[in-house]
Amino acid sequence: MRTLIISFCLMLNTFVALSQSTKVKMMTDTDGNAINAHGGGILYYGGTYYWYGELKSGPTYKVPDSDWENYRVKAGGVSCYSSKDLKNWKFEGVVLPSNKVDKKHDLHTSKVIERPKVIYNKKTKKFVMWMHIDSEDYSYARSGVAISDSPVGPFIYKGSVRPNGNMARDMTLFVDDDGKAYHFYSSEENATMHISLLTDDYLSHTKTDIRILIGDKREAPAVFKYNSKYYLVSSGCTGWSPNEASYATADSILGNWTTQTNPCVGKDADKTFYAQSTFVLPVIGKPGKFFFIADMWNKLDLKSSKYLWLPLHLNANGVPIISNTK
Ligand code: DGJ
């Protein structure tokens, strides 16, 4: 109980401190190194936050013969940082390394490993990671899964799928209050988002797989729930370049999703403050308060891309507001 109260107080202090500083772009770990966890997501487990993301290192290059801004670095795998207070982040290592030898392997450095998200399965007591796996021309369009007994790995890679035969690129996971987990993924050449219910062990997709935001061309999904309503923040599809975010709502997760407006307000709101959504983190003990977590991509030097953390709150009408001013 004491630990819970301390965590709660730390969270409140952190929310106030981060809200006052309004944005966090530069983030370093407890060793003073830049945090390297892009396109990431956060798991809260046992009083600790675990931040998983893409490890980006080495030179950025443009894939030859691409007719779009296909900048990339060699895939570095998935890194993990832990924190009790969301301010001090300890590097826990590369919990899912890339493969340097087998060119055919999904995790080979020549492939794309993006937007990893980890959830905990209370029944199996396993930590399950799903991620976007692709070839360097993004034609493979699959979802990979890895499993671990510990939040800090090692994660064992189990392979990749096209969920129910569908293309799958940008993605996130959401665990509902009843323990059911859902995989949100950009599909159909990124034109349409899908939501698929995962099996009870979170390792496969069930046949329950619905199409939402049909033809809207959305990616970078980030999902949260408030007052029994589901919210999905997403970006447009403009490669690494920033664009306008929007959010959609639904009264039931597999129900009808309705596109709303841009949740960002203020200067540069039409460019998501030069960032792209990756995760929305609920603040413990503060209903209606969240952190909007986004990547500020530097497409010409991806490893130096920074992060934007902004408070997200819901107004009296349940409208989410992300502001870059106090
Ligand atoms: C936008 C996606 O959101 C990113 O994760 C990445 O796949 C880039 N496109 C690649 O251009």
Nearest to 159 by CA among 204, 193, 114, 126: 204
DSSP designation for 24:
B
* Ligand 1 and 126: CB distance under 6 A: no
* Ligand 1 and 56: CB distance under 6 A: no
* Ligand 1 and 221: CB distance under 6 A: no
**Best residue for ligand 1 mutational test, from 54, 137, 170, 305 (most atoms within 8 Å of Cβ):** 170
Q: Report the distance separating Cα 27 and Cα 87, nearest Å.
A: 9
Assigned CATH for 2-323: 2.115.10.20
Q: Which atom of ligand 1 is nearest to the CA of 235?
A: 3
Q: Which atom of ligand 1 is nearest to the CA of 69?
A: 11
Report how far apart, in Å, the C-alpha atoms of 30 and of each of 10, 36, 66, 140, 323 are.
17, 13, 39, 37, 28
Q: Return the number of other C-beta atoms located less than 10 Å from residue 256's C-beta.
A: 11
Per-position DSSP letters for 131-171, written without gaps between them: EEEE-TTS-S-EEEEEEESSTT-PPEEEEEE-GGG----SE
The per-residue pLDDT for 112 is 98
* Ligand 1 and 137: CB distance under 6 A: no
Domain boundaries along the sequence of the chain: 2-323
* Ligand 1 and 54: CB distance under 6 A: no
Residue 262 and residue 246 in contact, taking contact as beta carbons nearer than 8 Å: yes
* Ligand 1 and 115: CB distance under 6 A: yes
**Atom 8 in ligand 1: residue holding the nearest Cα:** 239
What predicted TM-score, i.e. pTM, was given to this entire model? 0.94
The per-residue pLDDT for 12 is 45
* Ligand 1 and 242: CB distance under 6 A: no
Q: Ligand 1 centroid to 172 CA: how many Å?
A: 13
172: left (phi over 0), alpha (psi -120 to 50) or beta: beta
Find the helix or strand (DSSP H, E) in which 208 lies.
strand 205-212
**Atom 10 in ligand 1: residue holding the nearest Cα:** 239
Q: What is the residue whose two structure tokens read 């493979």?
A: 140
The per-residue pLDDT for 325 is 82
Output the tens digit of pLDDT for each of the chain's 326 residues. 443 333 444 444 554 445 444 465 669 999 999 999 999 999 999 999 999 999 999 999 999 988 889 999 999 999 999 999 999 999 999 999 999 999 999 999 999 999 999 999 999 999 999 999 999 999 999 999 999 999 999 999 999 999 999 999 999 999 999 999 999 999 999 999 999 999 999 999 999 999 999 999 999 999 999 999 999 999 999 999 999 999 999 999 999 999 999 999 999 999 999 999 999 999 887 888 999 999 999 999 999 999 999 999 999 999 999 998 85
Find the helix or strand (DSSP H, E) in which 5 lies.
helix 2-21
Q: Which 3 state secondary structure label does DSSP give 91?
A: strand
Q: Ligand 1 centroid to 7 CA: how many Å?
A: 34
* Ligand 1 and 170: CB distance under 6 A: yes
